[in-house]
Amino acid sequence: MFSVDHKVIGRQYLDLALVAVFTGMVLSWLMRFHLGWPDTPIPGLGKIAPGGAAGGVMTPEYYLALMTMHGTIMVFFVLTTAPFAGFGNFLLPIQVGAEDMAFPRINMMSFWVTLVAFLVLVAAFFVGDQPPLSGWTAYAPLSAVGKDAGPGQGWGQTLWAISIGIFCIAQLLGSLNFIATTLDLRTRGMSLARMPMATWAWFITAVIALVAFAVLMPACILLILDRVAGTSFFIPGGLVISDQLQPHTGGSPLLWQHLFWFFGHPEVYVAILPGFGIVSQILPVFARKPLLGPKVFIACLAAIAFLSYTVWGHHMFLSGMNPFSATLFSVPTLVITIPAAIVTLLWIGTIYGARLRFTSASLFALGFVSVFVSGGISGFFLAQPSTDIYLHGTYFVVAHFHFVMGVAAMFGIFAGTYFWFPKMFGRMMSETLGKWHFWLTFIGVYCIFMPMHYLGLAGNVRRYSAFTDDYLQPLIPLHRFITIAALVTGAAQLIFLYNLIRSRLRGPQAPDNPWEATTLEWSTSSPPPHDNFGGRRPVVTQGPNEYAVAGPGGRDYIMQAESR
Task: Enumerate binding residues for Cu ion (CB under 5 A).
Answer: 265
> How far, rounded to the nearest angstrom, does the alpha carbon of residue 71 sit from its chain's CA centroid?
10
Q: Nearest distance from residue 262's CB to ligand HEM, in Å? A: 17
Q: Between residues 18 and 441, which has the closer beta carbon with respect to other proteins?
A: 441
Which 8-state DSSP code applies to residue 194?
Answer: G
462 binds ligand HEM, rule: CB under 6 A: yes
Question: Residue length, the chain?
Answer: 564
Cα dihedral sign, 126-129-133-138: negative
Query: Binding mask 334-353 vs other proteins (x if CB under 8 A, - otherwise)?
Result: xx-xx--xx-xxx-xxxxxx
Minimum gap (Å) between residue 325 Cβ and Cu ion? 15
CB 395 to ligand HEM: min, Å: 7
Measured in degrees and rounded to the nearest 5, phi and psi for residue 436 equal -55, -45
The DSSP secondary structure of 74-134, one letter per residue, reads IIIIITTIIIIIIHHHHHHHHHTT-SS-SSHHHHHHHHHHHHHHHHHHHHTTTSSS----S
Our CB check for ligand HEM shows the closer of 158 and 182 to be 158
Q: Can residue 71 be called a binding residue for ligand HEM (CB under 6 A)?
A: yes
| Residues in contact with other proteins, shown as a per-residue x/- string from 72 to 111 under the rule CB under 8 A | -------------------------xxx--xx--------
Is the previous residue joined to 527 through a cis bond, with omega within 30 degrees of 0?
yes
**537 Cα distance to chain centroid:** 33
Nearer to other proteins, 54 or 348 (CB): 348
First to last CA, the chain: 41
Task: Determine which residue in the list 7, 34, 70, 194 makes contact with ligand HEM, applying CB under 6 A.
Answer: 70
* CA–CA gap between residue 211 and residue 224 (Å, rounded): 21
25 binds, among Cu ion, other proteins, ligand HEM, none (CB under 5 to 8 A by kind): ligand HEM
Asked whether 130 and 156 are in contact (CB, 8 A), the reply is: yes
Which residue, among 329, 339, 442, has the nearest Cα to 384 in the 3D structure? 329
Q: Which of 448, 495, 517, 558 binds ligand HEM (CB under 6 A)?
A: 448
Question: Is-contact 304 273, C-beta < 8 A?
Answer: yes
Distances 174 to 20, 204, 507 between C-alpha atoms, Å: 19, 13, 31
Tell me if 288 contacts ligand HEM by CB under 6 A: no
Determine contact, residues 45/54, Cβ cutoff 8 Å: no
- The CB-nearest residue to ligand HEM is 71
487 lines the binding site for other proteins (CB under 8 A):
no
Binding flag, residue 208, other proteins (CB under 8 A): no
Nearer to Cu ion, 380 or 439 (CB): 380
Question: At closest approach, how far in Å is the CB of 392 from Cu ion?
Answer: 12
Question: Burial letters for 539-560: b for 16+ Cβ neighbours within 10 Å, e otherwise?
Answer: ebbbbbbbbbeebeeeeebbbb
Binding to ligand HEM by CB under 6 A, coded x per residue (else -) over 402-431, reads x--xx---x---------------------
Nearer to ligand HEM, 435 or 463 (CB): 463
Site string for ligand HEM, 385-404 (x = CB under 6 A): -------------x---x--
Task: Please report, as ranges, the residues that interact with ligand HEM according to CB under 6 A.
Answer: 25, 28, 31-32, 67-68, 70-71, 74-75, 79, 135-137, 398, 402, 405-406, 410, 448, 462-463, 486, 490
